[in-house]
A = this chain, B = another copy of it.
Amino acid sequence: MDSITDIDAYHPSIKAVPFTRTATGTAIELLSIAEQQALLKMSRLVTVPKYTKLYTKGSEATYIYNIVKGVAETYHLTPNGNKRVTAFLFPHDLVGLAENGRYVSDAQSLTPLVAFQIPLEGLRDVLVRDPELDFGLLSKLCHELRRSQNHALTVSLNEASARLASFLVWIKDAYADGRSGQDELILPMARHHIADYLGLSTESVSRAFNHLERLGCIARKGLRAISLIDVPALERLAAQSD
């Protein structure tokens, strides 16, 4: 049932840590069963191969995507061909931010992807009839805004190892990976994606991994498998730096 082709196993899902106080303080499902079915009915479930574009910056925004499996990124390209990743997107996330009817960035999958393709056309009608859904999206957007502000904080750190430390503790929470042990982590993206997200060169990311490992904060079990040995130390590095 984990197969990517078993279509009926999936349904729209949006999670976020709410604006208001809750019992757990963790991310919760924002869509009621009825809302999931409403979105399901108006959407198309798409499967996307690894490293495939979802849309291009400046093109007409016709869909937003609700990821249910896999990982994606949004990014900007500079005239020099340089790349900056603005966000990593995971299951229960929405992708497709637009401005004045046009996507504000490029977006592509980093792994094979399963997502609901929701036409913006119909979405507006659903929203005016369902204030609860509006509120859910509002919560999700607040969540994304906090994530983005946190990203800006991370990128503004001056030491590469501090940026990487900040990234690792963030992704540990954001990307719970299904069967996650508490400090075992399989990174779903390559070094150069991390570099582009952190505003570093891939070489610096590599050296930063080295540094954190020598400090005893992490251990590498392979290129993508990281275990976070000392999370408090990582948080200290991320906070104290600069």
Footprint of B on A, CB under 8 Å?
17-22, 25, 61, 76, 78-80, 82, 84, 86-87, 97-102, 104-105, 120, 124, 127-132, 134-135, 137-138, 141-146, 148-149, 151-153, 155-158, 198-199, 239-242
A61 cross-chain contacts in B, Cβ below 8 A? 19
B155 touches A79 (CB 8 A): no
Partner of A84, one of B137, B153, B198: B153
A11 to chain B, nearest CB (A): 23
14 residue pairs of the A-B complex, CB under 8 angstroms, read A19-B100, A21-B100, A22-B101, A76-B153, A84-B153, A86-B149, A97-B142, A128-B132, A129-B131, A134-B135, A137-B138, A141-B141, A148-B149, A158-B199
Question: B134 and A99: CB pair below 8 A?
Answer: no
CB of A82, distance to nearest CB on chain B (Å): 6
Question: What residues on B are CB-neighbors of A80 within 8 Å?
Answer: 240
**Which residues of B have CB within 8 Å of A124?**
20, 135
- For A129, list chain B residues within 8 Å (CB): 131
| Chain B hits for A104, CB < 8 A | 146, 149
Contact B97 A146 (CB under 8 A): yes
Selected contact of A100 from candidates B20, B144, B199, CB within 8 Å: B20
CB atoms of A78 and B151 under 8 A apart: no
Are A101 and B20 in contact (CB-based, < 8 A)? Answer: yes
Q: Verify B155–A199 contact, CB threshold 8 A.
A: yes
Besides the contacts A19-B100, A84-B153, A99-B142, what 8 more A-B pairs have beta carbons closer than 8 Å?
A20-B101, A22-B101, A78-B242, A79-B240, A80-B240, A104-B149, A105-B149, A134-B134
Closest 9 CB pairs of A and B: A21-B101, A156-B199, A134-B134, A148-B148, A141-B141, A152-B152, A25-B100, A155-B156, A86-B149
- Residues of chain B lying within 8 A (CB to CB) of residue A152: 86, 148, 151-152, 155
A138 vs chain B, min Cβ distance (A): 6
Question: With A87-B149, A152-B152, A156-B199 as given contacts, are A242 and B128 in contact (CB-CB < 8 Å)?
Answer: no
Q: Write out the residue numbers on chain B whose beta carbons fall within 8 Å of the beta carbon of A128.
A: 131-132, 135
The docked-state distance in angstroms from the alpha carbon of A199 to that of B152 is 9
- Give the docked Cα–Cα distance between A141 and B99 (Å): 12
List chain B residues, Cβ under 8 A from A155: 152, 155-156, 199
